[in-house]
A = this chain, B = another copy of it.
């Protein structure tokens, strides 16, 4: 069944079905995505990352309500990527709260991914899902990840704009992780501003950000200075300012040429990853049965190092052609 026409016509059930096909990496899904791809390229992908407990989901919900209440609002999609265990139930719980806050607005679409497979798989499928949402006409796509590991940061980092969310009282345990995440931030938010210690957290973050301007400038290759905002999803404090900052960053990206730089880097990464995977699949398919296994056995018997074995495999195939 070709899901392209209904998806382009705004059929949400067809969209949900397509996203499931893409999440399961089916050929039908990829075929539909190829057909949709020329329609993509308009959406502003906004990564939202931060440690568990910083209130990211509630913040995004509030932010989406703010954006949707404005004149001529964009359609908004939320893609919640939760690579943690199904035991945690985070994705499911978050969805329930979301349904309460945002259901009833047909301009908002919410999708959770709780993929237990490889992270490479997660990065690829989340990128495919974002492309489908982009083609389906969503002007802003929030990509929410638990930003405590490099790989989760990579997923959020593939966005045009990265918002890093912190909160007071997260404890010293989180401190060591912060610096690495802050390096990719375009906007830094201290959420739960109603809690005691919010100002202290803000001051500490400002100091950390000021410590590392050289690295940030080099990494970004631009002169954007990440704004530092206090927000509260409960009271709504700072939510309009966050919406402004996100819009302001998009304008900065477009005017500075940085939008193209980031798009190119993202596409390069994605094409490179697909190329490596496809070449290896084709290569292994063309080999005699058991050759790869025999190569593994040689490494296991310590007859040769993995790098040497791989060279032998490739050279053997060359000689056979």
Residue ranges of A at the interface with B (Cβ–Cβ < 8 Å): 30, 33-34, 37-41, 51-54, 83-85, 87-88, 90, 119, 131, 146, 148-154, 169-177, 179-180, 182-183, 208, 211-212, 215, 260, 263-264, 267-268, 270-272, 274-280, 282-284, 292, 295-296, 299-300, 302-311, 313-314
**Inter-chain contacts of A212 with B (CB < 8 A):** 85, 87
Contact in complex: A264, B296 (CB < 8 Å)? yes
CA distance A208 to B183 in the complex (A): 34
Contact of A34 among B148, B276, B305 (CB under 8 A): B305
Select the residue from A53, A170, A307 with max chain B CB neighbours within 10 A.
A307
User: What's the number of copies of this chain in the assembled complex?
Assistant: 2
Contact of A150 among B119, B170, B263, B305 (CB under 8 A): B119
Contact in complex: A175, B52 (CB < 8 Å)? yes
**Inter-chain contacts of A131 with B (CB < 8 A):** 305
Known contacts A37-B308, A169-B171, A276-B279; 6 further A-B pairs (Cβ under 8 A): A54-B173, A87-B211, A119-B151, A170-B173, A271-B292, A271-B299
A14 smallest CB distance to B (angstroms): 18
User: Which B residue sits closest to A167, measured CB to CB?
Assistant: B173
Known: A53-B173, A177-B52, A279-B276. A306 touches B267 (CB 8 A): yes
Contact in complex: B179, A87 (CB < 8 Å)? yes
Known: A171-B170, A280-B276, A310-B271. A304 touches B34 (CB 8 A): yes
Contact of A280 among B41, B272, B295 (CB under 8 A): B272
User: Which B residue sits closest to A127, measured CB to CB?
Assistant: B306
Contact in complex: B267, A300 (CB < 8 Å)? yes
**Inter-chain contacts of A260 with B (CB < 8 A):** 300
